[in-house]
A and B are shown apart, each in its own frame.
Chain A
């Protein structure tokens, strides 16, 4: 692991050296994880923690170089970067993501004792409870809501991204992208709550819609699934548009021009070239929106008036109100498992995208 990247060039260490290198690398990693997790016992506040984390990068680099020298691989190949650069992140993830998740798994297979207490052991009954029809129904409803929301986002966001890439003046692109992000420099909570005003039956939007005879009376979408849908679309739109923009930007538009020159209609060219070539980017953007949507619980609470429950609300309640950490953990793991298919899809696509556009 501590060996330099496996490029086509560059010498490779002998097998025994590789083993030593790997062991040394793992030891280094474990040491780093230990240090990171002990930051608390040392009572570090924000600034010292920051410094500690920053100096770990050069420490890793030096250690990596030292191990390499020890193992005898010599020079790094030309365009490669030492793997030691990835170790700080790896240690960080281990310390502050994997280990806490481990606790979660521990809780999921424990026996609940009430009021948040658990008895550690191996008990799968939580998973059985989690698969109860009630939770499955809520999960499916969440799936439906997220699917519709994602579809809407694609429909709304795709033309926008397309326009920015294709037709917007090039020197304005940065500005246009920034304009998409700027609304999100106000707080998510305030934006969501402001929709309470926008959709309020006493606001002018409702009055206008009524005057235009588009609705039969004052606007009634607030506190319904529709309002939640609107809130989801509004809040997750940039997460879709930006990656899509990146994908569309990488495409060679000469191909489309060539196709239309050869007589294809614009629509056919779009369908067969643009859509197909940027499909990975499109799907990536979709997943980046769909998956977090599944865990959303603030928007249903605010815009849905608490009347509609999504699976995120159920899990939150299990932890905070029922204090059934065991069932909550199990349910969370089940949801993550259900989403894992999408995760794998995402992984596969991003690898493929890289292969097509990468070095």
Chain B
């Protein structure tokens, strides 16, 4: 228990520290704008006191830990609102009137919602698949290639990330119509994958680059085939990044509004488009309920995936988890690495 109290204390301290910083910033901005009031001066005093005294009282790691809690609260707050209001018995979205499950049954019974979610799932899965395959392949091919060949490719990839989504959507639409594509799931899938493939490419390549090629070279030296090396040496170590890229692709595709809006055609609403249609009158509680259910499902899925990965890590001997790119395992000296290549994998 005292541990929990101490942690809470850190959070409070972090809050005070951040509040102090904000007070100072507000005062400075106000000063620049010519508005100084008693209140902001008082706030300034308190703020300076907080900023100066707190780091002296509390060690940096604990303070940062408290701060992290604050950030997570900030991230989750709107989500909590969405979930809580999904249970709101009233129609009013700003006032909570009571608990009720009626919006959930409404959402489940609404065929437009369920079919929209279904379409989004299909497109997102397809897009994640292709993006992962194409992106990983390209990342592998490009990592060990000379700069001269890689530069134009890199430019292309970064262009896909930099061009505003709206512009991609419009140009894609005009192109599809001209090339005779029927607007629908396939066109949305194609539109999403352009961005997603670049995402996977970046994520995988960063990880691949930091992995180093010594293990693979060793494996080839010892006589393994290219495919075998890939399967047994490269792929397992690259797996976290590939999974991360796939997850990111799935998320972006599932959540995409702009490209879908233009390339959906008639009657092919994806989940974001369905929300957009429903939101034209303001936040709709049945959409809140549907979103809550989606969140619950993804959390379950994520939890399950985490369990599986943890079990896999135990058998593989390397901390896998859901870590992202660039997280090399604590790097052993190269000599050690070469000797233990068989044992660790």
Contact = CB atoms under 8 A, between A and B. Distances in A.
Q: In the complex they form, do A and B come into direct contact, defined as C-beta atoms under 8 angstroms apart? A: yes
Interface of A: 1, 5-7, 37-41, 43-46, 49-50, 53-54, 57, 76, 78-86, 88-90, 92-93, 96-101, 103-104, 156-157, 159-160, 162-164, 166-168, 170-171, 173-191, 193-198, 200, 202-203, 213, 234, 237, 242, 245-247, 249-250, 266, 288, 291-292, 294-295, 297-298, 312, 315-316, 319, 325, 328-329, 332, 335-336, 339-340, 342-343, 346-347, 350-351, 353-354, 357-359
Interface in B312-342: 319, 321-328
B175 A188 contact: no
Given A88-B137, A347-B155, A194 B226 contact: no
Contact of A96 (B165, B172, B247, B282): B172
A104 B190 CA distance: 18
Contact of A5 (B141, B153, B319): B141
A178 B65 contact: no
B271 interface: yes
A358 B65 contact: no
Among A246, A292, A351, residue most surrounded by chain B Cβ atoms (within 10 Å)? A246
21 contacts: A40-B180, A46-B126, A49-B126, A50-B126, A93-B157, A93-B160, A101-B171, A175-B306, A175-B321, A187-B271, A189-B257, A189-B275, A190-B291, A191-B82, A196-B93, A247-B326, A249-B328, A295-B167, A312-B164, A315-B164, A343-B155
Contacts of B160: 93, 97
Contacts of A249: 323-324, 326-328
A39 B147 contact: no
B108 interface: no
A44 B255 contact: no
Given A96-B172, A198-B81, A54 B130 contact: yes
B130 A50 contact: yes
B133 interface: yes
Interface stretch (B1-9, B44-52, B98-106, B216-224): B216-224
A316 B272 contact: no
Contact of B251 (A90, A181, A288): A181
A339 B93 contact: no
B171 A103 contact: yes
Contact of A187 (B75, B85, B176, B291): B291
Interface string B143-165: 11111010101111111111111
A182 B302 contact: yes
A50 B58 CA distance: 56
B166 A316 contact: yes
A79 B303 CA distance: 36
A82 B155 CA distance: 20
Leading 6 A-B pairs by shortest Cβ distance: A295-B164, A40-B181, A174-B321, A174-B322, A246-B326, A100-B171
A40 to B, nearest CB: 3
A6 B93 CA distance: 61
Nearest to A104: B171
A92 B159 contact: no
Contacts of B114: none
B91 interface: no
Given A185-B251, A294-B164, A79 B220 contact: yes
Given A175-B322, A266-B60, A82 B162 contact: no
B54 interface: no
Interface string B72-83: 101111110110
A225 B326 CA distance: 36
Given A43-B182, A200-B94, A81 B141 contact: yes
A238 to B, nearest CB: 8
Among A57, A190, A200, A316, residue most surrounded by chain B Cβ atoms (within 10 Å)? A190
B255 A187 contact: yes
A162 B60 CA distance: 11
Contacts of B149: 1, 6, 83
Given A182-B298, A234-B78, 13 more contacts: A6-B146, A7-B144, A45-B184, A57-B137, A89-B201, A97-B160, A100-B172, A177-B323, A179-B72, A186-B294, A189-B272, A319-B166, A332-B164
Contact of A86 (B141, B255, B258): B141
Given A159-B64, A194-B78, A358 B174 contact: no
B328 A100 contact: no
A120 to B, nearest CB: 13
B75 A180 contact: yes
B84 to A, nearest CB: 10
A185 B39 CA distance: 40
B129 to A, nearest CB: 7
Interface string B207-219: 0011011001100
A97 B159 contact: yes
Nearest to B177: A40
Among B78, B143, B181, B323, residue most surrounded by chain A Cβ atoms (within 10 Å)? B78
B306 A76 contact: no
B186 A46 contact: yes
B16 interface: no
Contacts of A96: 172, 175, 190-191, 193-194
B279 interface: yes
B134 A88 contact: yes
A213 B39 contact: yes
Nearest to A204: B96
Contact of A189 (B81, B85, B276): B276
